[in-house]
Structure formats: structure tokens, C-alpha cells
Amino acid sequence: MSRSNINYQVLREAEARSSVYQWWQRVSRAVEADGEGGLPAFSTAVRPALRRAKTPDDALLTEGFRLLWFAVPDNLKAPRNMPALGCVAAVLAEVREMDQQKSFAAAMGSQVEKTGKPRVSELRFQQLQQSHDLEELQRRLRRAVALLGKKVHVLSLADNIMQWHREKSGHPDYRPDRRLPVRWATDYFTELASYQKAAATN
């Protein structure tokens, strides 16, 4: 499923990650390209309906969300998680390909080929960090996914959305280094430094 080393904060259990990944495969019809003969793709109407959802609340009214809700394990089905899963469904519906190598934040910091600039600018990254609610976060995440060519690490992105909602709901991790703003900044700026430092020494 993934070769990258990602430290999951909400999707810690393999069952949870597998359910979200299989749901995305079936929504995006990546399951057909996979050719492994797993579960069949969902109806072609599922993904467009999710993409039309302007807010997480809109997504809750779609068949795509219901399919995700039925797929995830019971420990994720607490009512407080429902808006976050709506956002997960709406944003993952934009993803066309799985990036196996980089976390979502690291991909945002990765270089636009030979330009020395990140694929998601520092300004957009800061704005994403400063999102005030799930609706704003959903809109900015969709923009970031588009800037990444709709190729992102599906599970990293889903875990980040769930953690963002948990922390905004008053449940931040007791360890500061595990909080999402710190994790995002670490991955983004580490990736940024990898090519800007090299450019500065040439």
C-alpha cells in the first residue's frame, strides 16, 4: 500500500488505513488500474457527487460518504468524527493517483522541476495551516491537491484531516512534536531545505 515511513496519529490501526485506502481505490476507480482482482469500483456517479460537495456537510449527504462510513471500523464512527470523514471523502475524491514516496506535507514542499520553488508556495502552506474551520480546510486542501497534480499520499492526507479536526475540537496530542502544525512544518521545510540548500552551495 505504501513504502513511505509515515507516523499516523489517527489512522493508527492497519484496519482503519486499509478501509480508507480501499474506499479511495473504489471511488477513484484505481482498483481497475490495479488489476489485482479486489473489490469492484463504485458507480461512476459516486466521485462526481463528492467533487460537487462544497462543504463537509454537503459531502455527508452523498452516497460516497455513506460508503466510507460503512467501510471504516467502529472506533472511527463516533459522531464527532463525522464532519472530518465528510471532509476526507470530499478531498480524497479529488486524488487520482497515490504518491507512495512522500507524506502529504512533504509533497507540498517538493520542488517544481528545476525551479527551486515548492509545488505549494510557502504562502499557501501558511494559509492552509491557518484554516479556521473544516469548510475552509477542505477548500484549501483541494487547491493543494490540484497543485500536486492530483497525486498525493492518500492515507497521509486522510490522517492529517482527521488529526486537524481532532486538534481543533480541543484534543491536541500531549506531545508537541506530534501535533499537526509541527508535523506539517517539519515535513514541508525539510523537503524545501533539501533542494534550496543544494542550490545555495552550487
CATH of the domain at 146: 1.10.520.40
Contact 136, 56 (CB under 8 A): no
Q: Is residue 36 part of a domain?
A: yes
Per-residue pLDDT of the chain (202 residues; tens, 9 = 90+): 444 578 899 999 999 999 999 999 999 976 565 555 578 889 999 999 999 999 999 999 999 999 999 999 999 999 999 999 999 999 999 999 999 999 999 999 999 988 889 999 999 999 999 999 999 999 999 999 999 999 999 999 999 999 999 999 988 777 878 899 999 999 999 999 988 877 666 6
Q: Is residue 6 part of a domain?
A: no
Name the 3-class secondary structure at 39: coil
Query: Residue 37: how many CB atoms within 10 A of its CB?
Result: 7
Domain count, the chain: 1
**Long-range contacts of range 120-125, CB-CB < 8 Å, 24 or more positions apart?**
120/144, 120/147, 120/148, 122/192, 125/184, 125/188
Give the range of the structural domain holding residue 196, as residue numbers without chain letter.
Answer: 14-200
Taking the C-alpha atoms of residue 107 and residue 2, their distance in angstroms, rounded to an integer, is: 14
Q: Kindly report the pTM of this predicted structure.
A: 0.91
